[in-house]
Amino acid sequence: MARKISAEEILESTLPDAEEVLRLQREAAEQFTGSTQEWSARITEINEEMMAFMRKRAESNQALLESMIGCRNAEELGRLHSDWMQGAISDYSAEMQRVMELYTNSLLLPLQAAGSATAKTAKATSGKSGTRPPAKKRPAA
């Protein structure tokens, strides 16, 4: 005759080990905290990059205006404006690429690492961690 399995035995065999869950949660919290600090530093780096770019563009605009004041004819004015416009397009394109690289490398990667640790914890708490040995069988009463 088959032995009757108690609800307690079922729970013991399916629930993850509490120590393992706590360890994984602690690991996720540590990674998240580290990621948050790094994220903050990277936001500052991105802001500094953007401010430096704006300063550079303002200087370029000022130089254009000073050059335009000294123009003697429309042809020279058109050439100055055309050169300035090509430079602006090139500068904005390069800056967009730099900022996107900063976002990708500095912000997304650390957050993905924290998400990975959180996923491990979620997996462990769902009873699928595979780290806990099967429950001990109790003698039949």
pLDDT higher than 70, residue 124: no
Which of 116, 127, 138 lies closest to 32, judged by CA? 116
Tokens linked to 47: 């802001």
CA dihedral 63, 69, 75, 78 (to 10 degrees): 40
pLDDT higher than 50, residue 129: no
Burial profile 38-73: b = 16 or more Cβ within 10 angstroms, e = fewer: bbeebeeebeeeeeebeeeeeeeeeebeebeeeeee
Q: State the greatest distance between any 2 C-alpha atoms of the chain, in Å, as a whole number.
A: 108
> What pLDDT is attached to residue 4?
75
Cβ-based neighbour number of residue 17 at 10 Å: 13
Write down the pTM of the prediction. Answer: 0.55
Q: Which of 66-70, 113-117, 130-134 has the lowest mean pLDDT?
A: 130-134
Tokens linked to 33: 């905290």
